[in-house]
């Protein structure tokens, strides 16, 4: 009986949050260890299905860097990176599209459907969901020299998101699962950072939340302690001092851009924690770092 009462208390605790996010859109960037560990993969699928059944509209954007690297390794193609971005020639782009769209995306869709959900896989090509343009990076040289322009090949940045297809799927109770491949002029496909795609999708949908799953606790201060909640302005200070560094930089910047575009709240969450999404959405304490305006 006591165990049953404790379960009832947990449900009651979650009620205000269910009410708050009912019929709202939540965009989840799915990546890192949560995509590799079998138990975490199952828990992720169940979390998403539960959200849909209680009236929340989840939209998933996934990565797949390690899976791409495994295929490139078998083809004896050595990956190359500039500032964390994969240099993507035509041959590499074929592998990126094959792995992300043809393999990883379908595995996520299958896992959700296997556990009772209704998921549909998409890439940016479908219904011109994600329009993109070629990205270039400028690298500073000597003080008296112009910056060097670095060609990343078929790496893109989002120029437009067409929400119509996502709204149509939502109306029919489907869960969209998006591979981060965009389409540009002349039907060129582009490899786009999944964090950037998640931020752009959340912005265009005016999502109530953007949740990014990663392999660290969240944003840490200069002493290495987890920051549970931070404003966008405070995040700027951490970026300037170097407290936020490496792979956390694009995640924080994507959260800031999403907030500026109308997303209500953003979160960077440790995907290695079981049911991390539910803990963030439906408990007082939450997990990871909340970034707000």
Cα–Cα nearest to 205, from 86, 18, 68, 57:
57
CATH fit for domain 21-292, picks 3.90.1150.10, 1.10.167.10, 3.30.420.40, 3.40.1160.10: 3.40.1160.10
Q: Rounded distance, CA 153 to CA 144, Å?
A: 27
Q: What is the CA radius of gyration of the chain?
A: 19
Q: How would you list the strands of the sheet with 25-30, edge to edge?
A: 119-123, 175-179, 57-62, 25-30, 209-214, 265-270, 289-292, 229-231
What is the β-pairing status of strands 148-161 and 175-179? unpaired
pLDDT at 103: 94
Res. 28: pLDDT tops 80: yes
3-state secondary structure 68-133: HHHHHHHCCCCCCEECCEECECHHHHHHHHHHHHHHHHHHHHHHHHHCCCCEEEEECCHHHCEEEE
Dihedral of the alpha carbons of 94, 125, 85, 175, in degrees to the nearest 10: -110
pLDDT at 142: 58
Res. 7: pLDDT tops 80: no
Res. 129: pLDDT tops 70: yes
Kindly state the percentage of the chain with pLDDT values over 70: 96
Kindly state the percentage of the chain with pLDDT values over 90: 63
The mean predicted confidence, pLDDT, of the chain is 90
pLDDT at 106: 96
Q: What is the pTM of this model?
A: 0.92
Q: What are the distances in angstroms from CA 277 to CA 21, 43, 205, 234?
A: 13, 10, 19, 24
Partners of residue 131 on adjacent β-strands: 160, 183
Instruction: Read off the pLDDT band of 187 (50, 70, 90).
Output: confident
pLDDT at 141: 59
The answer to which of 64-78, 80-94, 174-188 has the lowest mean pLDDT is 80-94
Q: Rounded distance, CA 165 to CA 260, Å?
A: 24
Q: Rounded distance, CA 206 to CA 202, Å?
A: 6
The answer to which of 94-103, 117-126, 129-138, 155-164 has the lowest mean pLDDT is 129-138
């Amino acid at each position: 009986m006591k165990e049953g009462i404790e379960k009832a208390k947990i449900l009651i605790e979650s009620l205000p949050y269910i009410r708050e996010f009912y019929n709202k859109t939540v965009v989840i960037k799915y990546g890192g260890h949560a995509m590799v560990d079998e138990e975490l993969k199952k828990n992720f699928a169940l979390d998403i299905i539960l959200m849909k059944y209680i009236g929340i509209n989840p939209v998933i954007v996934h990565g797949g860097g390690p899976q791409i690297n495994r295929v490139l390794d078998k083809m004896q193609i050595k990956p190359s990176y500039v500032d964390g971005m994969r240099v993507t020639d035509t041959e590499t782009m074929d592998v990126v599209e094959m792995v992300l769209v043809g393999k990883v995306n379908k595995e996520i869709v299958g896992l959700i459907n296997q556990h009772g959900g209704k998921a549909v896989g998409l890439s940016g090509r479908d219904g011109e969901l994600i329009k993109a343009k070629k990205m270039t990076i400028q690298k500073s040289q000597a003080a008296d020299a112009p910056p060097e322009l670095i060609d990343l090949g078929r790496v893109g940045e989002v120029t437009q998101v067409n929400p119509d297809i996502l709204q149509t799927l939502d109306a029919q109770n489907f869960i969209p699962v998006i591979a981060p491949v965009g389409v540009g002029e002349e039907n060129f496909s582009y490899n786009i950072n999944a964090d950037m795609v998640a931020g752009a999708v959340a912005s265009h949908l005016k999502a109530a939340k953007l949740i990014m799953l990663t392999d660290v606790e969240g944003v840490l201060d200069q002493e290495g302690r987890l920051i549970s909640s931070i404003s966008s302005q405070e995040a700027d200070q951490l970026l300037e001092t170097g407290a936020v560094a490496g792979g956390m930089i694009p995640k924080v910047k994507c959260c800031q851009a999403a907030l500026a575009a109308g997303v209500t709240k953003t979160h960077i969450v440790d995907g290695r924690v079981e049911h991390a999404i539910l803990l963030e959405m439906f408990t007082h304490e939450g997990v990871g770092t909340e970034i707000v305006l």
